[in-house]
Amino acid sequence: MFFMANYWIIGDIHGEVRLLDSLLENLLRFKPDQIVFVGDYIDRGPYSREVIDRIMGLEIPVACLMGNHEMMMLNAMEDLGYGYNPIELWYYNGGEATLHSFGATSFFNFQSTMDPVYLEFFRKLKMNHILHVDHQLKVLVTHAGISPSIPVEQQIVLKDYTSLVRYLQENHIDMGDSFLWVRENFFESPSDLWKGYLVVHGHTPNMKLRRYITTNGTRNFLFVENDISIRKEIGSGKMVSIDIDSGSVISGRLTGLGIFIENEGTDAREVRLKSITVTSEEIVPRDLGILNH
């Protein structure tokens, strides 16, 4: 079997640079054509700055998405409150660990001394990324999923933090209803909202999603331990979304999803999913099988 190309998507890191280093060491052996990060590089874990340094230092193509934690940090930096105190919200969600990783003693020290290179990195983070796997399959990578409040065709044209903020303000949409924060409304929505795409996302740790699904009785989610969950369309069995948030800070696990495009010497293409989950002590590779699309 000849592998034409492979792409990797990495879940929420939250300052766990040792897990990121281990995951990168293992997936770089495949010589990926591109690595996509779903966001939430910072907060909670102790090495936010080091995580950004690792990503910026990669010598292969990368696409870096914004997570809700990067948005909270920028809201605090820009003093965009949406009716709440943005600094308090960021601190409440683990921002103090990020300050310490940048060597800051207070938020205002952090705000005034941040190297412009990092600020540019955060402000230019993408809202989503599309992998055109073949003529039938488009993989839409987004931080939290698809928000019913924002049509997918409008979501995919939003380019960066500034365009998202403007869109939310102009359409009177709460930040929590965006595709950087959505949870239950995404999991309960019909997949017709993102027809034509396989959505790959993070944001909701799979152990939390498993509890939610168990409580609500939904049966179309397949869990691979607490590292990955695959949502299938009822009836057709087609994969419609994949959650790759292993809960790095709370579980000590970080997952990357690999999309391998295979060719057997004909024009037919086969798309195979693989994954690697790392902990401080082990590496868990998985073959998730042929992608049904």
| Across 102-130, average pLDDT | 95
The candidate with the shortest Cα–Cα distance to 179, out of 140, 217, 211, is: 140
Print burial letters for 100-124: b (CB count within 10 Å at least 16), e (below 16): bbbebeebeebbeebeeeeeebbbe
CA distance between the termini of the chain: 20
Considering only residues 73 and 135, tell me which one the structure prediction assigns the higher pLDDT: 73
Considering only residues 7 and 3, tell me which one the structure prediction assigns the higher pLDDT: 7
Look-up of token digits 């001394």: 113
**199 has which bridge partners?**
140, 241
pLDDT of 2 > 80? The answer is no
Tokens of 264: 């057997």
**280 has which bridge partners?**
none
The pLDDT of residue 136 is 77
* 137, 197 Cβ separation under 8 angstroms: no
| Across 250-263, average pLDDT | 93
- At 66, the pLDDT band (50, 70, 90 cuts) reads very high
Tokens of 124: 């230019």
Q: Which of 81-85, 176-180, 204-208 has the lowest mean pLDDT?
A: 81-85
| Across 105-129, average pLDDT | 94
| Across 41-63, average pLDDT | 97
* The domain over range 2-69+119-219+246-290 is classified in CATH as 2.60.40: no
Q: What share of the chain is helix, strand, coil (3-state, %, to 5)?
A: 35, 25, 40
pLDDT of 268 > 60? The answer is no
The pLDDT of residue 216 is 83
- At 85, the pLDDT band (50, 70, 90 cuts) reads confident
Rounded-to-10 torsion of CA 95, 97, 99, 102: -140
Per DSSP, the three-state class of 211 is helix
The length of the chain, given as a count of residues: 293
**Which are the contacts of 102, defined by CB distance < 8 A and separation ≥ 6?**
48, 49, 110, 113, 114, 118
The pLDDT of residue 269 is 73
Radius of gyration (C-alpha) of the chain in whole angstroms: 19
* 44, 50 Cβ separation under 8 angstroms: no
Tell me how far apart the alpha carbons of residues 184 and 187 are, in angstroms, rounded to a whole number.
5
